[in-house]
Amino acid sequence: MRAATDPFRVAAVGDLHCREDHRGRFRELVRQANAEAHVLLLCGDLTDRGLPREAATLAEELSALRIPCLGVLGNHDVEAGHAEEVEEILGRVGVRLLAGDHSVVEKVLGVAGVKGFGGGYGNATLQAFGEGTVRAYVQEAVNESLRLEAALGQLDTPRKVVITHYAPIPGTTEGENPEIRPFLGTSRLMGPIDRYGAQVVFHGHAHHGSPEGRTDKGVPVFNVAYPLLRRQDPPLRFRLYEL
């Protein structure tokens, strides 16, 4: 068992968008994670359309993992209405998906996870006013932030990590089309992160965003969308971070 002061290496990636024809596509990612990390974190959009057969393909890829694997779902994973089946299929190979809950790895690393939602940032955050559809949209973002707060509030570990699909800060969406950035996340997610002392945050969703940024209180935030990581020089299969 790792001591509380021992280094803990986290591998994080999102937006794999696995399809049926992707057999073998992530084999090297799994091999490298096994060799370099103590845990693999998956930040949503694990499947391309949320189909069970896509989840089965990804499960086959991840079955070779020898380290714990935690994740959250993304908007693509719920698209087809089979989110529970996707979760069940990935669970068979040891992938635990978090949805407003938490998990502890080796008694030292606490991971809190939510899918998150959109709504914009700072003074431009969408408010619950006007049409019922607007109020419902805002409420979903509020609910996700409350779920994250509840998950973080239950963690009592030396190190805390947050995983989401949607971006909790605007900085990591820079590079995306300005018109869609408010739909890529919301700063409502940042409040719990700063209040409960997370050491680092990983998210996906913003394929054309920026690799990293910080919350208002300086917590590092990494955009680990796979398409973005593959465009780095050199290309990455995941972000490796040591706590």
- pLDDT tens, 158-186? 999 999 999 999 999 999 999 999 999 99
* Residue 66 CB-density burial (10 A; 0-12 exposed, 13-18 middle, 19+ buried): exposed
pLDDT in the model for residue 5: 76
pLDDT in the model for residue 78: 97
Q: What angle separates helix 52-62 from helix 83-91, to the nearest 10 degrees? A: 20
For every residue of 9-49, DSSP letters joined together read: EEEEEB---B-GGGTTTTHHHHHHHHHH-SEEEEES--BSS
For the whole model, what pTM was predicted?
0.97
Segment 81-138, tens digit of pLDDT: 999 999 999 999 999 999 999 999 999 999 999 999 999 999 999 999 999 999 999 9
pLDDT in the model for residue 192: 97
Can you read off the two tokens belonging to residue 23?
A: 């057999």
Residue 34: count other Cβ atoms within 10 Å of its Cβ: 14
2, pLDDT greater than 90: no
4-8, 64-68, 116-120, 130-134: segment of lowest average pLDDT:
4-8
CATH superfamily of 9-242: Metallo-dependent phosphatases (3.60.21.10)
Query: Which H or E run includes 101?
Result: strand 101-105
pLDDT in the model for residue 4: 65
Can you read off the two tokens belonging to residue 219?
A: 């917590």
pLDDT in the model for residue 6: 82
pLDDT in the model for residue 97: 98
Mean pLDDT along residues 16-43: 97
Mean pLDDT along residues 126-155: 96
**Contacting residues for 111 by C-beta, under 8 A, at least 6 apart:** 39, 41, 70, 98, 102, 103, 104, 105, 160, 161, 162, 163
Residue 191: count other Cβ atoms within 10 Å of its Cβ: 16
> Can you give the residue ranges of every domain in the chain?
9-242
- Nearest residue to 223 (alpha-carbon basis) of 43, 98, 85, 73: 43
